[in-house]
Each structure stands twice: as C-alpha cells, then as structure tokens.
C-alpha cells in the first residue's frame, strides 16, 4: 500500500463552543492534502457531562490509548461542582508530560519586524500546578512547588531530542534558581546533565524575568526553550503574542507513546455557531500531527500553503482584523494547497 493510500485511525475530540467548527476546518484541510483518516469521534468537556455524567469518559481515554494519536478542540470545564480541568485530567491520565508549542512569525499575524522561530517545551505534570495548596492559618495560604529530577530530566531530553532531529542549534533553560535555589536549582542541574549528552546543541540558561524581556526585545535569539510548568504557561503565551496570539499558535501534549494535538485557545462560546471562528491554530496543530505520524510531505505542503495564505492578509476572520467566515478562510487556504500540487 502506498503512503497516499494509507488510512490512519485517529481519535477526534471536537470539543465545546467553537471546537466542532475549528476541528471540522482542520479535517477539511488534511483531506485536501490527500491524507485519509478514519476519525474515531469521542466526547469530553462540558458537552460530555449530560451524556456520561463526567467530563472525561473512560471510552474517550481508551480510544486515545488505542490509537496513540488524537486531535482535540477546546474544552470547557463546568464552573462549580468541583470539576477538575479536563486538559489537566487528560495529561495526568495519559502521562502527557511535555507541552510543545512552536511559535513562528512565518505562520502568524504580526506587525513587528523581528523574526520569531522558536519551540517551547513546558513540563506538564508538576511545579505549582499539582494543586497542593493549604490555608495554614486564617489569612495565610501556602502552595507547594514540587520539582523532581525525573520530570526535569524527561522534559530536558524531549527538548534536546527535538533540537537534534530538527537541526535546531540552541536550547535555553529558563529558571529562577537565583531565588528558588532548591527547586529551580534541581531543575537546572537536571537539564545540565542532559545537555552534556548533546554537545552539538548550544546550551544556555536564562532567568525567567529576563527571558520575558528578551523575548519581546530580541525574540530571534531563542530557538528551543525548556521550562517548568508555571514559567512555561506564562512564557508560551507571551511568545504567542509576538505572532498574533493564541488563535494562530499550535500545541501538542506528548507522552512516551501518546500524543494529543490541540489549539491552546479557549472554546469561545460567545461566537460558537456564528461561523466566524478562527481555525488557524487547530489547522497548525493538525499539521504538527501530520509530522508526528510521518506525513512530512503533506505537512510541508500545508505549511507552504499557510505561508502563502497569511502573506496575502486576505480572508481573515474578525479576530485577525478581517471579515471572512470560517468557511471562507478554509476555502482560501485549500485553494493554496491545490496550487502547490
């Protein structure tokens, strides 16, 4: 069977709000590039609650475990009732320890002249996001920052392996070890040990507040960036802002065997069903998924089409300064894909 005839089985979680609209758009783009996928459509989020009495049905987890790859739309966690973030539950249940976010000015809407081309590796499982908080006395709250050598080593290896496989030249480790000498010190020590195994890759360290400033002033100096959970959450959104925001930036949550690809923006219930949702982040994420499954030629073609499409600044949705509908944006992008055959 030729590569073009191969049929992939992939889990699809359409999600809440605009999720079904943007994931449908991504499916159209992949089909236009000749990729055949047998989508296994599963529920999660607020939309799953009434049907399954849970925001993350076991059937959905089993589908992802079986297929190893999933594309996910934005999910809504119901307010009240003690519901935990569905995204956090997915990461914990499937051990998706690496949040990976490529940020590129070539694939964004930006008016700054400095080039941006970086990939951010955020550790996904610990740090302050373990939720270990206590009220130790009236008016006094405490949160525990948990950093382990195992998790720090694992995210560092993922970052350096990505750099090697994709011929990236440099890895920055972001920290605040000048203040948090034990926790961030352990993170840095773990990354340094991993860095010694990759002499071909330049290794640098930068304090997190300086990193934020440098990304705004000279983003071109960053290539691959590895951070803990909290710093990664903040810095990855800052980086997204350099190229147009969360509406144009892809994301992936990776484990040892399982990968979920998703846009990182919210479900935007205020515009759901109006046909004006921006699908670019989900399309970018789906393109990351193509590279993950080895469909590099199709991924290259979609990327080239997106560069052409974005360079024209036409057929953009309202959040990007245009007045196009979701369908009009997708149709214009597909026309570019056809031109590149």
Residues marked active site are found at: 129, 176, 209, 233
Q: Measuring CA to CA, which residue among 64, 66, 2, 60 is closest to residue 36?
A: 2
User: The dihedral of CA 54, 55, 59, 65: what is its sign?
Assistant: negative
- What angle (nearest 5°) sits at the alpha carbon of residue 56, between those of residues 82 and 9? 165
| CA dist 204 → 153, 168, 209, 265, 334 (Å) | 16, 14, 15, 30, 40
Alpha-carbon span 251 to 71, nearest angstrom: 10
CB 97 within 8 A of CB 154: yes
Alpha-carbon span 124 to 111, nearest angstrom: 31
Q: With residue 140 as reference, give the H or E element that holds it.
A: strand 140-143
End-to-end CA distance of the chain: 21
Alpha-carbon span 159 to 204, nearest angstrom: 13
- What angle (nearest 5°) sits at the alpha carbon of residue 334, between those of residues 332 and 336? 75
DSSP letter string, 158-207: HHHHHHHHTT--EEEEEE-TTT-TTHHHHHHHHHHHHHTT-TTSEEEEEE
CB 142 within 8 A of CB 136: yes
Across-strand partners of 140?
137
CB 75 within 8 A of CB 262: no
């Amino acid at each position: 069977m030729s590569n073009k005839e191969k049929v992939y089985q992939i889990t699809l979680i359409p999600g809440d709000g605009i999720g079904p609209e943007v994931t449908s758009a991504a499916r159209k783009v992949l089909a236009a590039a000749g990729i055949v996928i047998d989508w296994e459509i599963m529920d999660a989020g607020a939309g799953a609650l009434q049907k399954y009495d849970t925001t993350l049905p076991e059937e959905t987890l089993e589908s992802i475990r079986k297929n190893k790859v999933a594309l996910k739309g934005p999910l809504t966690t119901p307010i009240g009732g003690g519901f935990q973030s569905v995204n956090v539950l997915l990461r914990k249940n499937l051990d998706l320890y690496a949040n990976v976010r490529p940020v590129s000015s070539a694939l964004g809407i930006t008016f700054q002249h400095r080039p941006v081309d970086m990939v951010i590796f955020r550790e996904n499982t610990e740090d302050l996001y373990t939720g270990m908080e206590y009220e130790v006395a009236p008016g006094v709250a405490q949160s525990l920052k948990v950093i382990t050598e195992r998790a720090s080593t694992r995210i560092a290896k993922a970052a350096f392996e990505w750099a090697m496989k994709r011929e990236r030249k440099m890895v920055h480790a972001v920290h605040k070890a000048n203040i948090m000498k034990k926790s961030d010190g352990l993170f840095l020590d773990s990354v340094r040990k991993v860095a010694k195994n990759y002499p071909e890759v330049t290794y640098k360290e930068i304090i997190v507040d300086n990193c934020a400033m440098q990304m705004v002033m000279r983003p071109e100096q960053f290539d691959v960036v590895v951070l803990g959970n909290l710093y990664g959450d903040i810095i990855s959104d800052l980086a997204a802002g350099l190229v147009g925001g969360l509406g144009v930036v892809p994301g992936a949550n990776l484990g040892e065997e399982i990968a979920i690809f998703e846009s990182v923006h919210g479900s935007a219930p205020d515009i759901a069903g109006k046909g004006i949702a921006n699908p670019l982040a989900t399309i970018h994420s789906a393109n990351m998924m193509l590279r993950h499954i080895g469909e590099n030629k199709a991924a290259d073609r979609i990327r080239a089409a997106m560069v052409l499409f974005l360079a024209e600044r036409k057929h953009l949705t309202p959040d990007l300064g245009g007045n196009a509908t979701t369908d009009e944006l997708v149709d214009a992008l597909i026309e570019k894909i056809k031109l590149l055959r």
